Structure 1
Amino acid sequence: MGGEYPSGHEFNFFGNNATAAAYVVDTWPGRITFSGFEMGKDVYSGADLMVRGPEKDLVGAAYRWYKESWDPLTMLYAIEGLGDVFSIGNRGHNYVYPNGTNRWLPTDKKSGSHNYLKLNVSSSAAGAILDQLFMQGAVAATHSAQ
């Protein structure tokens, strides 16, 4: 996670050590797929879990303070890949400046080492998918603990 696409100034790059973030992104030898600020800022999830989920569910507890879905969307991609939810933005290179600002530099090569995710579904549909997965996990965990 980090950045905003095609360009921006987002906390995960500028927050704690912008120079280190810039160095890692700009010199990483392998491929990187970025999940940007714009993807999760309008995807809300967790309400169903808070209302109908088990009282002691840890994910539900976390949602009392945090409702945007940057982290859950990134985890969904890490676990399930692109599926029907995501697509890849333009391949290229994500250049991160020492102040944490990033700028996407598209390339005409299909072998660009960086890419970023885009939603293929609406924000509300993405939130509903996450809610369904949260509820399934919470119910399964509750039943296995009994």
Structure 2
Amino acid sequence: MKRFLILTCLLLSAGFESKIHAQKASKKPIPLILDTDIGPDYDDVGAMALLHALADQGEVHPLAVISCNKNDLVVPTIDVLNTYFGRPDLPAGAPKGKAVTDGAWQKWPEMLVAKYPHRLKSTANAPDAVYTYRQVLARQPDQSVTLVTIGFLTNLADLLNSKPDQLSKLSGQELVKQKVKHLVAMAGEFPKGREFNVYKDSLASEQVFSRWPTPIIFSGFEIGKEIKTGLRLVADSSLNGPVKDVYALCLPKAQSDYAGRMSWDQTAVLVAVRGVAPYYGLRRGRIQLQGGNNTWQDDPKGPHTYLTEAMPVAQVTELIETLMRHQPVNRKNVSR
């Protein structure tokens, strides 16, 4: 009976995924910028796999993938993944001022840059993140861009503080208000808590959450904590590539612990591209910060919302892992 119920759930999820894909494919791809700290944790790798899978399905048009982390291997890691999925020319960027420089203790970025082709050899060689933001945003139609942050809020605070330049006569805050539709942030824990992306640069977080001129949707720690992925990806002998390599290296090997990795960042990308419903509900109000801790104030007219569970976790997990197993459609020279 247990096996029957599991099989039924998987079949229903697959059918639902096909229906959703058919609905989304008929719409114009969403212009999107991804801001990532890729390196401290490896759910960012899963999130980038989702981004490229949904792009190959015609649902999203990636405009740039920008690092909010100054660690030397972050931009090369982004370059590896963009190259593998057939988009080596996506604009990149990295912070040039004070910023977090965290690496990955499992050393998976070192493995990726040693094994897979990439052109950018160091994060220091990437353009300034604010310059990339201003350049990309200035070229887009008004209120068209979805911005997704799955790391520290450093770049977004710097963008808000940027001055008019040769790229745009608008200040950073004015440029965001004119060009960005909304911000989706994997940040915070709701209704209260202390979450990594917020407290690692709490000053930037406070600036962004208090001054950001468009709606913000939060995917909190509690959402991705329940979605554990990677098992099917690693077990599938027909798959290869950097996404599988990272999960195979990092997932716990003890059978008792082998439940998969929490999928915080993937939920933010999913919602940014496909929308909140039917996966989640929303609670409206305003996030409030004290140091690295956040609380929540309900407000029917508030500028912020956070995700609440709607679809069963098992179905969202199946959907996310299916997208993570996507193989590139224009793969060339993917390994050495």
Report the TM-score, using the length of structure 2 for normalisation.
0.38
- Which residue identity is paired with 2:307? L
* Cα pair distance change 1:123/1:11, threshold 3 Å: same
SS state of the match for residue 56, structure 1?
A: coil
Match of 1:6 among 161, 176, 191: 191
Distance 2:205 2:237 in 1: 37
Distance 1:58 1:74 in 2: 21
Q: Which residue of 1 aligns with 2:293?
A: 101
Deviation at 1:103, TM superposition (A): 0.8
Query: Contact 1:39 / 1:70 at 8 angstroms: preserved in 2?
Result: yes
Match of 2:309 among 81, 96, 119: 119
Q: Does 1:84 align with 2:278?
A: yes
* Cα pair distance change 1:53/1:72, threshold 3 Å: farther
Query: How does 1:1-146 map onto structure 2 within 5 Å?
Result: 1-15=186-200, 17-52=201-236, 54-64=238-248, 65=250, 67-88=261-282, 90-97=283-290, 99-109=291-301, 112-135=302-325, 137-138=326-327, 141=328, 144-145=330-331
* Cα pair distance change 1:108/1:55, threshold 3 Å: closer
Query: Contact 2:233 / 2:239 at 8 angstroms: preserved in 1?
Result: no
Deviations 1:32-77 (A, max 9, x none): 0011000011210121111116553222223232621001111111
- Pick which of 60-69 and 36-45 moved more: 60-69
Distance 1:18 1:42 in 2: 25
**Structure 2 unpaired stretches of 5+:** 1-185, 252-260
Deviation at 1:114, TM superposition (A): 0.4
Query: Contact 1:4 / 1:102 at 8 angstroms: preserved in 2?
Result: yes
The structure with more radius of gyration: 2
Distance 2:213 2:206 in 1: 14
User: Higher relative CO (CA 8 A, sep ≥ 6), structure 1 or 2?
Assistant: 1
**Structure 1 unpaired stretches of 5+:** none
* Cα pair distance change 1:74/1:53, threshold 3 Å: farther
Distance 1:120 1:114 in 2: 19
- Pick which of 20-29 and 2-11 moved more: 20-29
Distance 2:237 2:197 in 1: 30
Distance 2:281 2:300 in 1: 18
Question: RMSD across aligned C-alpha pairs, in angstroms?
Answer: 1.9
Query: Contact 1:34 / 1:117 at 8 angstroms: preserved in 2?
Result: yes
Distance 1:124 1:61 in 2: 24
- Which residue identity is paired with 2:322? Q
* Cα pair distance change 1:14/1:53, threshold 3 Å: farther
- Which residue identity is paired with 2:298? P
Deviations 1:78-117 (A, max 9, x none): 11112321211x21111122x11111110133xx210011
* Cα pair distance change 1:53/1:94, threshold 3 Å: farther
Deviations 1:9-54 (A, max 9, x none): 1111112x21221121122122100110000112101211111165
Residue identity over aligned pairs, in percent, reads 30
- Which residue identity is paired with 1:108? P
